[in-house]
Every structure is written in C-alpha cells, then in structure tokens.
Chain A
C-alpha cells in the first residue's frame, strides 16, 4: 500500500501532536481503516511512540484497524431511538447482514456499526447510511435500504 497520502494529511495539520485524532480520522476516510504502515508513518513524523498511537487508535470507537465495508451502516441506539424501537431494527440488520455490530460482511460490502446518539433524536429511530440520515425507521424500512444497496451492487456488477 502506498502511504503518500498519509504524508500529505500530516502536512495539512503541520505535524501537530494535538491533531493526532484528526489525522487518524483523515487517514481512515482515505483508506477505509487505519493500516499499520500508516500508523508507523504517523509515529515517525509526529515523533511519537507507536504504542501511544495504537492506544489512541483502539480507545476511540470511531477507528478501525481492519478494512471497513463499501457501505457503512450506522444505527443509532441512543435513548430516544431505544424507546422508539431501535433494538428491533438492530435485530433485523443483524439478520439481514449476518454480522454483529462492529463487523464487516465477508464480501466487504457492508459494515454495521452501532452508536449511542447521532443527535437527530426528534425523528428516531435513526440510521446513517453512507453519509445520509434516514429517520423514523422500522424493521421493514431498514430492510428496504439494504435491499436497495444490494440491488445497486448487482446492477453495477452487470454493467462492468
């Protein structure tokens, strides 16, 4: 893997140690996870111990050391979404994708994540899929979102 982009990201934050979390976010956005080589590069450029960087990368839930799927499905299970039936949607998602939260499907298409609040409580239960919010979800609607993404995949597959 080529880590030229990692250098550019570090440059953007002027090698500041305080920007470590932002740097890791940018790397994850670029590579879909935090590759070991990238973390080594960050350690040497910021003159930090690799252990400390590993500590930060594993402490914060937003980071992943393994590649994420093409589609990111984030389900909110904050209190408001919980009392409005969020757990039912989680059960449906686990069944549809056959994975647990934090995991990625074997075909690397979907990653399922659970968060404690997206701050869109007024229209819960909420799902955040590939950068778009879906409000007032129920198990059926959630299933529909996955099916649509799957259909798109097949259609694109035929084209290529």
Chain B
C-alpha cells in the first residue's frame, strides 16, 4: 500500500480496496480468536486454503481469518458472505462439503447450522440466533468483518475516517467537548467521564504528554479487551490518535498483559502497518499532527491493571501502586501528564466522532451511555462476549441471551466486577445494568465480567477464592491489604474446613471495614467486596458451614461425603473406571460402594453416573 498523505488519499485508497474486494463473489470468514484456536480453527483455515486452491477458486473466493465474534462456546465459527450463513462447531472435515454445497451451489449444510434449543429449528444467520438477537453490537460487530492483520480491511469499512474528521473539521477543544457531551465513561471499571479526564490532561502543565491504552485485563472472567485488541486493533489505534490530538500528546503506549500473546501480536502488526502508510508518525494525513505508539508487556501481575502500578511497569519497574493524591493526568509516566483509558473506552471514540455525541447519548440510561461488553461465563448455557445497551436487565442478559441454566441446576447469583465486585442474587435480576445500579447493590461494573453461579456453586468457597486471589496479587506495599487479606483468608479457610466459630462472621466484617478504609490503592480498598456481598445476600450459607458443618452446594470437600444409592445403582461400573483413587468397589451389574477412607472427593463418579445414583451429603 502507498503512503496516505491526505484525506483524499485515504478516500482514494478506500475506493481502491473496495473495488479489489468486488472481484470476490464469496467471502469465507473463519474466526481466529483465542477461543476458536482452542478448537483448532487453524486446521479449518488450512483446509479451506488447500481445497480452494485445489479447485482453482482462490480468484473468486476470499478467505478471511477474523477476530472473535463472541460466541466462543460454539467455535470454530465460519460465516459465508454474501449468503450470510453462520456455521458453528466446524471441523476441517466439513470444509469440502461447505465448498461444494454452499459456495458452489448456494445450499446450506444443515448439520453445521445453529439449532434453537427451544423451538428445535435450524437458524441460518447469526443475527437470528437468540444469543445475538438481543445484543447491540456497535463495537464487536466489526470483529466479524475484518482480518485484524490487514489495515486494508479496516480502511474498507470506513476506518480512520473519524480521525480525518477530528483532524480537519474539529479543534482539540471541540473533540473533548464532543466526548464530554456523549457521556462516555471509562470502561475499565470506575466509570470516570472520559471527556473530563482528557480535558484535565490537556489543561495540566508539563510536556510531553502521554496517552496509554490499558489492556492489562486481569479481572478473571473478563476478556472483552482481549477480543477487541485481538480482533480490531486499528480501532483502538484510531481512538488513541483522536484522544492524543485532543489532549496534545505525541506518544502513546499500549500495555498488554503477558497472558494475551495474540492481542500483543495483532496490536504490534497494526502499529507497523499504520506507520508504513503514514497513519502513525509525523504529519499524519498532512495535518501537522504527529503521534506514535509503542507496545509494553506485563508480567503476570494483577495489580498492574491499577493505573499507577501500570505506569511503574511501563517504566520498567516493579508494579507497585502509589498514592493518587496527585492524579496521573498531572504527573503520570515519568512525572508527565498522562491520560490512561481502557481498551473498550478507546474503541468507543471513533464511533462517537463518526456518528456524533447525540446519537451515542441516545443509547443507555441517564448516567451511563452507550453499550457495554460483558463476558457472560460460568454456569449458563450460552457463554461468550455480549454487547448490550446500558440499562438492560440482568435477567435479559442471563436468560434471553445466555439461555438460562446450564445443567438442570437453578441459577442463584451472578458475580460482576471481578475481585473488586460482588455477587448479585437472582432475586435482584430485574436490576437494570449500569454503573450506579450495580454499585448500589454492593457490586460494581468493573471491566465487565459476568460469572453466573448456580446451586452447585458454594458462595463461601467463591468468597474464599477471591480473598486468596487478592492476597496473592497484593503487591505487599501497604499493611491493611497485605495482612488483612491474609487473616480474612485464614478465617474463610477455617469456615470451609468445618472449623468456624460464632464470632468469625463479625470478625470478617470488622476486618473488611478496616481494609476498605485504610488501604492505599483500589485493589485493597475494594478487596473485601466479594466477602461483604456474599455475607449480605448468602449469610445462611456461611451459617450452615459454621453451625451445622455442612456445605449446601456440596463443594467444600472437608464437609462432604460421597456415597452410592443401592436402589438407583445399575452396576454399570462407569464410576469405578474413572475413580482416580480406586475408591469404588463392586461387581458388574451389582450395586457399587464408595470407600470413604480413600475417596478424594473429586466428584468424577458423580459426573459420569447415568443413573444419578451418586449422592453427596
């Protein structure tokens, strides 16, 4: 591709790409996201490559490896355009049939279509699938259309036009005003108004100024930032370019956690391509504005998602947070004014500039505008990435989009906000989701993880899980977080081992209060939330562990016993075969027994028993 030196160059380049794309009669999109890679989508891609070449169809059929369309659970996903046929769970052996039936003859391959579990009918296009139907995919929909390693694909769908508009039709103040009016708030969790943050950074004294994209998505259960950076890295670059222009920065950084190798790679490729065509570097589009971006990598420390720790990490130091009395917008990276936003926040920017703040602010609730991407995971039928307008209810997300319970167990709660958030009980599922409402019920938006929990999830175990998680991730700099979480973990360990006593719950609450009030950074200040919310809504479960030495969900191993019902056991021997400790005895076709002395309580026997004869008490 030639250098793009002006707006007219950009438009000409777009027309060239579009006319080249017209030569293809058919486009085969194979999802290449991390989720589908786990299902061997590379083999599907290789099979298409080989067969299309063998049949001499490469001139007419374009093969595209795209980012993640979100329905990871059904991967590998393949979409055929212009037919708009959505195939799921595709294997390499299905490729020949797709070519001969769909591409050559326009017919559907029935067994690869999604089947509506309620109506038992096959669905052709992804838009009709219940999982997608209730979504509003403003940010994610482009993931289906573009190959993230080709800047041409992004330009073809109108990419970098918002940048051109900002650079040539708007002054920096106007860009900031537009973002302010739109009502966009930070998607990393805290929900600070983005336009205001930009303005503060713009007004701060000191040169140079920096912008940072935070892709240290450490909240377990959240992966929308990974999918956005992996699937549409140029949109993030465009957002950063517009932000940098408004703020007056010439250098940016994208900080990616080490656990996301593909996101790192695709962002790196995007930066190189943008530099090559002149969309990063000096005098962008001939506007006089210069900006470049560098990549920075994390090292597996959760605390580095905290802005001051992240900055220390970019500086090549230990990722310890500092007090935020002086904000980053005044003194950030190397003591200079720094504006840090999360991946999803940056991704919204080109959209707002393109379609206008009025349009954006018409979506959502009074104080939370636009859409939010959630990762819907855990004990729910349809798992994956879900983009919905703010204000939609939890019920709609979990039941209409997620399809409800997974394997016959009633859903009892959803955990949002990661380790800083809390569990919301099913009785509150009519709650409209926005920044304020989630905080009100003791949880928070966080980066958008939504982990569904059912009767088989022990809330004491979940609270213990988060406390241990945070204890391990605490950087150790301040005492309340370092020592307080350790003690909370010890108390919860005791409770789940059946050694809890009557004072434990009040002690947990007292410790929580101190940690919330006196910790240095956000990690510590929000760390007790999972415990407090579990105590608020699921106190009887804690009490059952303490007073009756019983785990109602049958999760805490010291409190449970496995046995086999003599009446129901058919003597098939499946449990005996899978038991890793040989704790099951019994003759074929006769009732089996579990030897409790050597049973490791792994539950494998229960998982395989077709007669439902394995009981947990």
Q: Which of A55-63, A104-112, A145-153 contacts B (4 or more CB under 8 A)?
A: A55-63
Given the complex of chains A and B, what is the CA–CA distance between A123 and B226 in angstroms?
15
With A18-B315, A55-B318, A79-B415 as known contacts, state yes or no: A117 contacts B220, CB within 8 Å. yes
Q: Which of B174-182, B589-597, B599-607 contacts A (4 or more CB under 8 A)?
A: B599-607
Given the complex of chains A and B, what is the CA–CA distance between A99 and B607 in angstroms?
26
With A56-B318, A121-B383, A135-B39 as known contacts, state yes or no: A83 contacts B378, CB within 8 Å. yes
Pairwise interchain contact B226-A119, C-beta atoms closer than 8 A: yes
With A135-B39, A140-B604 as known contacts, state yes or no: A117 contacts B259, CB within 8 Å. yes
A-B contact pairs, 13 of them (CB 8 A): A21-B298, A22-B297, A52-B317, A56-B299, A56-B317, A60-B299, A63-B299, A82-B462, A119-B259, A121-B383, A123-B38, A123-B73, A139-B580
Given the complex of chains A and B, what is the CA–CA distance between A118 and B465 in angstroms?
17
A125 shortest CB reach to chain B, Å: 11
Residues of B within 8 A of A62 (CB): 258, 298-300
From 73 to 91 in chain A, residues with beta carbon under 8 angstroms from any chain B beta carbon are: 77-85, 88, 91
Given the complex of chains A and B, what is the CA–CA distance between A122 and B220 in angstroms?
12
From 1 to 57 in chain A, residues with beta carbon under 8 angstroms from any chain B beta carbon are: 17-22, 24-25, 48, 52, 55-56
B291 shortest CB reach to chain A, Å: 18
Pairwise interchain contact B378-A21, C-beta atoms closer than 8 A: no
Name the residue of chain A whose CB is nearest to the CB of B473: A116
Number of interface residues of A (CB under 8 A): 49
Name the residue of chain B whose CB is nearest to the CB of A57: B299
Pairwise interchain contact A79-B580, C-beta atoms closer than 8 A: no
Pairwise interchain contact B453-A83, C-beta atoms closer than 8 A: yes
Pairwise interchain contact B379-A83, C-beta atoms closer than 8 A: yes
Residues of B within 8 A of A63 (CB): 299
Residues of A within 8 A of B220 (CB): 77-82, 116-117, 121
Residues of B within 8 A of A80 (CB): 220-221, 377-378, 383, 449, 451
Pairwise interchain contact A59-B72, C-beta atoms closer than 8 A: no
Residues of B within 8 A of A18 (CB): 294, 296, 314-316
Pairwise interchain contact B301-A139, C-beta atoms closer than 8 A: no
B403 shortest CB reach to chain A, Å: 13
Asked if B339 CB lies within 8 Å of chain A CBs, one says no
Closest 7 CB pairs of A and B: A60-B299, A78-B220, A133-B38, A20-B316, A119-B223, A122-B72, A61-B300
**Of A83, A95, A116, A139, the contact of B604 (CB 8 Å cutoff):** A139
B7 shortest CB reach to chain A, Å: 34
A145 shortest CB reach to chain B, Å: 13
Pairwise interchain contact B316-A17, C-beta atoms closer than 8 A: yes
Asked if B218 CB lies within 8 Å of chain A CBs, one says yes
Asked if B319 CB lies within 8 Å of chain A CBs, one says yes
Given the complex of chains A and B, what is the CA–CA distance between A133 and B604 in angstroms?
22
Given the complex of chains A and B, what is the CA–CA distance between A55 and B317 in angstroms?
8
Asked if A115 CB lies within 8 Å of chain B CBs, one says yes
Asked if B313 CB lies within 8 Å of chain A CBs, one says yes
With A119-B223, A126-B38 as known contacts, state yes or no: A22 contacts B296, CB within 8 Å. yes
With A126-B38, A138-B607, A140-B578 as known contacts, state yes or no: A84 contacts B378, CB within 8 Å. yes
Residues of A within 8 A of B379 (CB): 83-84
Residues of A within 8 A of B75 (CB): 123
| Binary contact readout B368-390 vs A (1 if CB under 8 angstroms, 0 otherwise) | 00000001011100011100000
Pairwise interchain contact A119-B260, C-beta atoms closer than 8 A: yes
Residues of B within 8 A of A123 (CB): 35, 38-39, 72-73, 75, 383
Asked if A100 CB lies within 8 Å of chain B CBs, one says no
B299 shortest CB reach to chain A, Å: 3
Asked if B250 CB lies within 8 Å of chain A CBs, one says no
Given the complex of chains A and B, what is the CA–CA distance between A88 and B607 in angstroms?
12
Name the residue of chain B whose CB is nearest to the CB of A58: B318
| Binary contact readout B196-237 vs A (1 if CB under 8 angstroms, 0 otherwise) | 000000000000000000000111111100100000000000
